[in-house]
Chain A
Amino acid sequence: MISHLPILQVIIPLLGAPACLLLGKARLSWIFATVVALITFIISVLLLIQVNEQGTISYMLGGWEAPWGIEYRIDYLNAFVLAIISAVGTLTLIAANDGIKKEIDEARQPLFYVSFLLCFAGLLGITATGDAFNVFVFLEISSLSMYTIIALGKDRRALWASYQYLIVGTIGATFILVGIGLMYSMTGTLNMVDLAERLPPVAESKSVLASYAFIFVGVSLKLALFPLHFWLPNAYTFSPGIVTAFLAATATKVAVYLLIRFDFGVFEMSSPEVKQTINRLFITLGIAATLIASWTAIKQSDIKRMLAYSSVAQIGYMIIGIGLDSSSGVQASVLHLFNHALMKGGLFLVLVAIALQLGSTQLKDLQGIAKRMPWTFFGFVLGGLSLIGVPLTAGFISKWYLVSAAAEQEQWYIIAFVLIGSLLAVAYIWRVVEVAWFKSADSEIANQQQQTMPEKIPLLLLIPLWILILSNIYFGIDARFPIYFSQQAANLFFGGL
């Protein structure tokens, strides 16, 4: 069985979804989905260990060797990403039963879990595969189910947000497909390793260059790279809180992974100048994302929306790392990918808890909330500190690596911009802290809070919330695990250090 781990990783949630449909009852579906996710998580850990022992694992689907058949190729990079996705997926699913109670109709809940599992399977499939067309197939699965779970919120604006995302996402997917098609016509293969071998001789041709352009733009739409990020804040704000926590920690991460995979693992530029132009473009856009999105985040009145903009900014850091085009740059990106999943997963779960208590995530409704829900709010502050990048939190580690990667190339201005970005993060986190901690509630709002404040926050929401928040601290102090794996991942593309 151990040799089938790569496929089990994806196939269990993929077949779990239709099985989940057969169950029909909301609670039953939830238990089933959670167990499926848990098994997936265990598999991902086993895979991580296996990759660490044996190096890259290749698994031929259908027994047909690549490039004729489809290959699953697990190396340090995607084993690490798989572990992140399945961990966050499991944690959010554990919290889901209580989290979606208020936000999704009882009758739709079973279907929510089916879609959730499909989305989960789709994201894992994109990450695990070593075949470019297979990426597209699983991208479709994950995107379609994502549109569904975003639209399931009771807020009718969720429909509009989902529609907007649907249009943008479809354009992105089509671009990726066009790119893959062009590459196929020039090389005759769809396997990534094979592509990497067969692209260099034809790298000069315009078709190949166009295919790179289409894939870059398509993936950038998916990962909400500034200025293609406009769909993200709406989608995150109006979707059910659990969905936001899941997507923020996984969906854009998978797109970042794809970008790294294509940029370093598949593409071969015809000349160093082309590569440099692309790198410069990445760095510029990354910096623009960090600054502009952080600035916009400060002005938001809804915390969920604020954190959504902050996600766009954080993605900016990862793109800067990719643009640095060095071993340490990629390592910083992968590290930040991991850490950002922890902080945003944790923070959005805090918002789920707050929304469950207050029925709102508007900043003004939060007055004095720190006194009513001190522990939950403490969690928010910890997550926020990590987001800012304060020492002893996970966020600090990845920013430190990013800064050192930039210093390595003596690109000092990047360091300055990273610092400015962090200061802006201080500003938007502080706004929340100020309102929640230091403002006592107006009588009107206090009344409102009194009315809506129900029983305690459910335990099954608190456990995943604190696991994520505390891991921000844990991996801020003892970061050996993510550093080791991100370094190995970067070594895949840049050889030994």
Chain B
Amino acid sequence: MLFSIFGLVSASFFMNKDAVDVAFTEAAVGAGISPLLMLATLAIVGRYQNTKALPTRPLISLTIVTITGALLIIGTLDMPAFGAADAPSQLHVAPRYIQDSVEEIGIPNMVTSVLASYRAYDTLGEVAVIFTAGIGVLSLLAFSHANRKEKHLIDDIIELDEHKILRIVIKILVAPILIFALYVQFHGDFGPGGGFQAGVIFAAAIILYTLFFGINVGKKVVNLSIVRVFSAIGLLLYGSVGVVSFVSGKNYLDYHVLAENPQTAQHIGIVVIELGVGITVACVMMLIFFAFFERIGKDKVE
């Protein structure tokens, strides 16, 4: 619960610092999905520790943490004041991003310009990180039980108590959330948003639906093996934009080959890679969610 609140608070904090894009993601992941996964873990392993805790040495840990914290504070002493116009970070690479990106890329959202064009390769890496996380969870959780139980704990709970009101609310909410996700996806170059945010929002809608209608119903909505395939396709789509670039003789992820007008070319490139990001992020989130929730209650049966 605290974790979820923390997520929400940091989302507002990011919002306050004008990092709306980050706030989006934090609200969906930090306040929504990750506490949910924690709850799922608790449901799997139980609330209390069975065996005695290993002997811990709180003093040593405390000292190390204190020293690190002190170092961090010392480190910030000489840092330029927050938002100072003459800070080095504002003077070196940033002016070009701020002044020329509208002309060079042709979209008003500078964050998207930096993320999806100037430093697009980092973003490709980040998508790969998410993909890796998904693969990790899948390979560790998905196959641990050969005999798959047809019914899951959530389904049992739902059968006992139908959650009628919540279900109706969810039914009303899911469609707008999905549409909102698509809006965030395709509007990322003009307003805050983009593939990462859209992906998590989309997945959150599906997860919400599954939570109140049960895993079996949820699985009818999304076919997991297709989701799995698409988690790879998103990353491949992103990467193949770069392949197109160097097949046409330019450097990797140079969007200028995609159209004659440089602005149009950049625009096409950004839309396509954002789509790749969105697909992979949404699919991986769903995969992780299902991998966790399918495990709940299984260990008790055996």
A residues in contact (CB < 8 Å) with B: 1, 4, 7, 11, 14-15, 17-19, 21-22, 59-64, 67-70, 105, 107-108, 111-112, 114-115, 118, 121-122, 125, 131, 133-134, 137-138, 140-141, 144-145, 147-148, 151-152, 159, 178, 182, 184-190, 198, 202, 205-211, 213-214
Known: A18-B236, A67-B93. A115 touches B135 (CB 8 A): yes
Q: Is the CB of A188 within 8 A of B135?
A: no
**Known A7-B252, A67-B93; contact A115-B132, beta-carbon cutoff 8 A:** yes
Does B298 belong to the interface (CB within 8 Å)? no
Contact in complex: B118, A64 (CB < 8 Å): yes
B6-14, B22-30, B70-78, B191-199: which one contacts chain A? B70-78
Within 8 Å CB of A14, what residues of B? 124, 128, 239
Query: Which chain B positions have C-beta within 8 A of A210?
Result: 71-72, 74-75
Q: Does B149 contact A (CB under 8 A)?
A: no
Question: Whole-angstrom distance from the CB of B213 to the nearest CB of chain A?
Answer: 28
Q: Are the CB atoms of B246 and A4 closer together than 8 Å?
A: yes
**5 further interface pairs, Cβ-Cβ under 8 Å (given A112-B139, A145-B136, A188-B94):** A62-B118, A108-B143, A131-B122, A188-B92, A190-B93
| Chain A contact surface mostly | helix
Q: Is the CB of A138 within 8 A of B125?
A: yes
Check B119–A147 contact: CB distance below 8 A: no
Which 5 pairs between the two chains have the least Cβ-Cβ distance?
A210-B75, A188-B92, A63-B254, A18-B232, A137-B125
User: Across the two chains, which residue of chain A brings its CB closest to B255?
Assistant: A62
Contact between A187 and B79, CB atoms less than 8 A apart:
no
Contact yes or no, B122 A133, CB < 8 A: yes
- List CB contacts (< 8 Å) of B105-150 with chain A: 117-122, 124-126, 128-129, 131-133, 135-136, 138-140, 143
Most buried by A among B93, B124, B139, B242: B139
Whether B251 contacts A213 by the Cβ 8 Å rule is: no
Contact of B232 among A22, A213, A214 (CB under 8 A): A22
List residues of chain B with CB within 8 A of the CB of A141. 125, 128-129, 132
Interface residues in B218-256 (C-beta closer than 8 Å to A): 228-229, 231-233, 235-236, 239-240, 242-243, 245-246, 250-256
8 contacts across the A-B interface (CB closer than 8 A): A14-B128, A15-B243, A64-B118, A125-B125, A134-B122, A188-B88, A208-B78, A210-B71
- The CA-CA distance from A141 to B130 in the complex, in Å, is 8
- CB of B87 closer than 8 Å to a CB of A: yes
* Residue of A whose beta carbon sits closest to that of B94: A188
| A111 x B131 contact (CB < 8 A) | no
Closest to A211 in B: B75
B168 CB–A CB distance under 8 Å: no
Known A14-B128, A14-B239, A15-B236: A185·B79 in contact at CB below 8 Å: yes
B121 touches A134 (CB 8 A): yes
| A187 B252 Cβ-Cβ under 8 A | no
| Contact, CB under 8 Å: B239 / A62 | no
A138 to B97, CA, bound (A): 24
Q: Which residue of B lies closest to A114 (CB)?
A: B135
* A21 pairs with B228, CB closer than 8 A: yes
Q: Which residues of B contact A138 (CB under 8 A)?
A: 125
Given A121-B128, A185-B88, are A148 and B139 neighbors across the interface (CB < 8 Å)? Answer: yes
Q: Which residues of A sit under 8 angstroms from B92, Cβ to Cβ?
A: 67, 187-189, 198
Q: Which of A59, A61, A211 has the most CB of B within 10 A?
A: A61
Contact A186 B88 (CB under 8 A): yes
Asked if B80 is an interface residue, CB under 8 A from chain A, the answer is yes
CA distance A133 to B235 in the complex (A): 20
A184→B92 CA distance, assembly (Å): 10
Residue with the greatest number of chain A CB neighbours at <10 A, chosen from B89, B126, B128: B128
Distance (whole angstroms) from the CB of A397 to the closest CB of chain B = 36
Docked Cα-Cα span, A188 to B94, in Å, equals 8
Q: Are A62 and B120 in contact (CB under 8 A)?
A: yes
The answer to whether B163 has its CB under 8 Å from any CB of chain A is no
A423 vs B143: C-alpha distance when bound (angstroms): 46
The answer to the question of B90 belonging to the interface, with a C-beta cut-off of 8 Å to chain A, is yes
Q: Does B151 contact A (CB under 8 A)?
A: no
- In the bound complex, how far is the Cα of B129 from the Cα of A14, in angstroms? 11
**Quick one: given A18-B235, A62-B118, A68-B93, are A115 and B242 in contact (CB under 8 Å)?**
no
B228 neighbours in A (Cβ, 8 Å): 21
Cα(A137)–Cα(B121), bound, Å: 10
